[in-house]
Structures are given as structure tokens and as C-alpha cells.
Structure 1
Amino acid sequence: ERNRDPILNVLKQIISPDGLVNVLEIASGWGYHVTYFAKFFDNVKWQPTDGDQSCVNKINQKLASSNKNNSNISKPLAIDATTNHCVWFNGMYQRCHFDCILCINMTHISKWQATEGLFSGSNYYLKPNGSLVIYGPFIVYGDFIHKNNISFDKQLKSQTLEWGLRDVSQLNKVAEDNGMKLEKIFDMPANNKTLIYRKH
């Protein structure tokens, strides 16, 4: 919850206030972000997802127990970003459906295949000129930004070598392979970044 307002401020610059906008969130966790953001965008239809069914259940519980109007939040779905994106929704959403895809704090605590899947899925499901918004700690062209990020990266790798901070240059390569290009990097609190990738 500590990072929700800084991310919200970025989204207000990215998401159009006009017309119906469809946003897919990958790795929604317990739904703290999507349920907060939804209050500020009346024209946005949010689709939360997570690879962990227990998180999907938590989002359902959160929506059911809320006394707020959650009509602009769709039923959460179980999506594993490491799987083939063509089967993510079993035909519920077709190619080029979403205007924006949002992913918060996933790339450093998941397999690299999940990041690759995030980009390939974005290429498939984003509309032309759609945006992929990724928040988290990153290495920026070889620079850890702060010594805390170095120790955090070591801590993650001590749990599993498949985890760790990703370098923006790595992400740019995967983006290019999937028809996207880095448009902007926002500086965020606590040595984090928000990366905006635009689909060609």
C-alpha cells in the first residue's frame, strides 16, 4: 500500500480519461492496488489476475466484503505468465483487447520466463499504441541505483537463483523482440522505477 499513490500518479499520465479503457493487471497479489486504482478511473474496466489461486481467492473475498461499488473490476482470473499467452483466458479476451497492461513487483520475484511471458502476452493482448507499465526495483543499464538494491538482489538470489533484479537493457531486448519500445522511466520512492513500454 505504501507505493500505491506514486504508481497512481504515473497511471494518471498514462491512462486516457476519455472513453472505455481496458486494463489488465498481471500479478495482482491480494488486489490492494487494483481495488485502490479503480476508485480513480470511472472509465476503466480492470481485469486483475494472479498466478497463485490463493491470491485470486483473496481478491474475490476483498471484492465481496467491500462496501464500495466495484462494478468496474472484473472477476479475477488465475493467469500464469510463464504459460503460452494464447491460453491465458481460454478465448475470453481476443488479441488487441487491452489498452494498458500493468505489472507491479513481479519481475524480480519470479522466473525470467514470467518476464518473457509478460512481454509476449503484452504484444498479443495490447492494442496498437497500448502501454505496458512495469513497477519495481531494477538495474538501470548496469547501475543498481542504490546500495540497498545490491543487497536486495543478493538476498533474492540466496532464496533462488531464478530471482533477482532485472536490468532495463534485458527488458528492452525482450520488448524489441515483441514489438515494443521503452518510452519512459519514472523515478519512484525507495529506489524503484516505473517503466513504460509502448507497443508499435
Structure 2
Amino acid sequence: MMKLRHAAASPFVRKVMVLLHETGQLEKVELENGSTSPLDPNPGNLAVNPLGKIPCLVTEAGAPIYDSRVITRYLDTLHEGTRLYPEGEALWPALVMEATGDAMMEAGVGIIYERRLREEAKRSEAWMAAQRGKIAQAMDKLESARFPEALDMGQVSVACALGYLDFRFPEWDWRSGRGSLAAWAKRMERRASFQSTAPA
């Protein structure tokens, strides 16, 4: 059985979990507690990933695979049904959208680390504002995006990023002025795979 270093609050872990739900592979993976901090790395994570980050997947052969984009690409090859990474020219827009969602997550996680791990007197409000600006710019672009009818990992990544905003920044009314994106996010959150992987 494969093993996944896991933490329910991580949007990057959620990406992997959504794929496992959508492709029917949940029973193939054992979840291991991978909760960690940049200042206090989880020893179990370091044992399989020298960076100490999650998610990290350990294959049945014992090989570690890390970075959520690498893990999801790997898992997507293991099932027989419709792939979440499309083939042909449709692959590139999906990858660009996935990169956009991942960058939004990175900016959001960065703000949380700045708030929690840096001494209050040393926190940079300007840096945190710049991260929020990146997220806002991405959402403004996504507001006019045409999302494919078929689910792909680009959409999964963006939806996980938006879910992370709701989880960590409930005071941020990101839906204001972005009605199309908000409606799309609401449809995504109704999927069983998203309801089952809500951050906690």
C-alpha cells in the first residue's frame, strides 16, 4: 500500500486527496500524520523528503515522490478511467491553471507563516500585502476564465486555493466583484471529493 504524509489543513495535500477521491484510489493509500512547521520539521517527513515538506507519497516500492504536482501526475497514471491531466493541446492550459492555483496557495501559506512564525515586531506588512496582491491578481484573471466542462487538475488546484482562502482568511471577501468565479467555486465545493476533503 502507498503512504501519504498528510495534514488536513494543507491545500497542497487537499489537491492530492481530491484526486484520490475523484479517481477511486483512496483505498490504495494509507494516511500518515505529516503535520509540520518550517521551524520544527516533522521527523517522519524528513525521513522520506529531505525538504521535510508535505505532501509526500511513498510508493508501494518504497520510493518517495514529493511536490503535489509530481504526486498528482503520478497518481493520475495509476487509474484506468478519465485522466485529470488531459492529453494533447488541452494539457497546457490545465498545467498553467494548476500553476496559478499552486502559486495562490504558496502566497496564502506564506502569509500564514509570516503571521505565526515571525516575531510581531519583525513582521512585514508590506510583504504580506504583496502576497495578497498576487492572489487578488490571479483571481481577477480567473474571473474571466472559461473553465472546461471536464474536471482537470488545473481546476482542482484553483478550487483548493479558494477553499484555503475561506479557511484561513474568512475576513477576506474575495467573492466581491468576482461573481463568476464565486459561482464556479460554489459548484466545485458541492462535489463529494471537495466536501470530503474540507480543511480542518
| TM-score (normalizing by structure 2) | 0.29
Bigger share in helix: 2
TM-score (norm 1): 0.29
